């Protein structure tokens, strides 16, 4: 598999609103997802998973960055209930401003 840190047209992140999740796809196949709940002005990231066959290739990182970038672009505050998203934000302080001021981790 190609290095996911390099732009690769075979890897894409797609919002699937009817299923309340974003999918990361490799060669058109779902390789992982982030489930969410939306409310006016905010998004709660509930769960992130990457299929075992794709573990260790940076897809979770790419997925987290993409969904957080999209939240920013849409002016949404983030409630990172998902431990993976919460850890990603902790490791990338440039996303901390997205976290809802009243959010406390479960």
Measured in residues, the chain has a length of: 106
Strands, DSSP E only, in the chain? 11-16, 21-26, 29-39, 42-50, 77-80
pLDDT, one tens digit per residue, over 21-40 is 999 999 999 999 999 999 99
Helix (H, G, I), strand (E, B) or coil at 62: helix
For each of the domains in the chain, give its residue range(s) and CATH number, in order of start: 11-98 (3.40.630.30)
pLDDT, one tens digit per residue, over 32-83 is 999 999 999 999 999 999 999 999 989 999 999 999 999 999 999 999 999 9
């Amino acid at each position: 598999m190609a290095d996911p840190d390099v732009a690769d047209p075979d890897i894409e992140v797609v919002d699937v609103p009817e299923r309340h999740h974003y999918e990361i796809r490799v060669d058109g196949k779902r390789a992982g997802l982030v489930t969410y709940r939306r409310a006016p002005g905010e998004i709660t990231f509930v769960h992130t998973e990457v299929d075992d066959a794709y573990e260790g290739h940076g897809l979770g990182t790419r997925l987290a960055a993409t969904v957080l970038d999209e939240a920013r672009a849409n002016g949404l505050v983030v409630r990172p209930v998902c431990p993976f998203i919460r850890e990603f934000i902790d490791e990338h302080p440039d996303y901390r401003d997205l976290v809802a001021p009243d959010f406390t981790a479960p």
